[in-house]
Amino acid sequence: MIRVQAEPFDLGAELAGLTAGRTDIGGLASFVGLVREFAREPGGEPAVSAMTLEHYPGMTERQLAAIEAQAIERFQLQASLIIHRYGRMLPGEPIVLVAAAAAHRAPALDACAFLIDWLKTKAPFWKQEETAAGRRWVDAKPEDDTAAARWLPPAR
């Protein structure tokens, strides 16, 4: 299941919903990304006072659905969930949730990492940070491409 929404989400309720009434799930892995007050580079940029996420309505849903479908097939998931927020958020607020449930722990953990790595480089979202010095668009990080690339089949 995927959801794109402006509102915050209730992590506990979302995760509970994935396993409720089921007895075939052995492991549930999840990842939540949150707005950090401090800048990404130590000693560098001013503190972030808010973050606004822009997205591409329509394409976002398609991309998230495609990412989830790949994870379900690749890791044989029994349940999965992606929630991604857009709009303005304050430090400490959750931005994104990915969760994966499987019979065993390894595929659940791997799928969780796959979902967030893949989403980071494929889902059409753009972050704009607010600091005391003004607003700035966040640059894409090369290490995100590296993280996503480890899920590709080895080159021949």
- Interface positions, 9-68, toward another protein (CB under 8 A): 33, 53-56, 58-59, 62
Of 38, 37, 29, the C-alpha closest to 110 is 29
Buried b / exposed e over 18-43, threshold 16 CB at 10 Å, is bbeeeeebebbbbbbeebeeeeeeee
Close Cβ partners of 115 (under 8 Å, ≥ 6 residues apart)? 31, 67, 68, 71, 80, 82, 98, 100
Q: Can you tell me the distance from the alpha carbon of 54 to that of 129, in angstroms, rounded to the nearest whole number? A: 11
**Residue 138 binds another protein (CB under 8 A):** yes
- Minimum Å distance from CB 61 to a copy of itself? 22
Pick between residue 77 and residue 119 the one whose CB is nearest to another protein. Answer: 119
- Minimum Å distance from CB 36 to a copy of itself? 5
Pick between residue 58 and residue 93 the one whose CB is nearest to a copy of itself. Answer: 93
Pick between residue 35 and residue 71 the one whose CB is nearest to a copy of itself. Answer: 35
Q: Which of 9, 19, 45, 121 binds another protein (CB under 8 A)?
A: 121
- Minimum Å distance from CB 107 to a copy of itself? 12
**Residue 128 binds another protein (CB under 8 A):** yes
9 C-beta neighbours (distance < 10 Å), count: 17
Structure tokens at 133: 């010095």
User: Per-residue x/- marks for another protein, 100-119, CB under 8 A?
Assistant: -----x----------x--x
Question: Applying CB under 8 A, which residues contact another protein?
Answer: 33, 53-56, 58-59, 62, 84, 95-96, 105, 116, 119-128, 137-141, 144
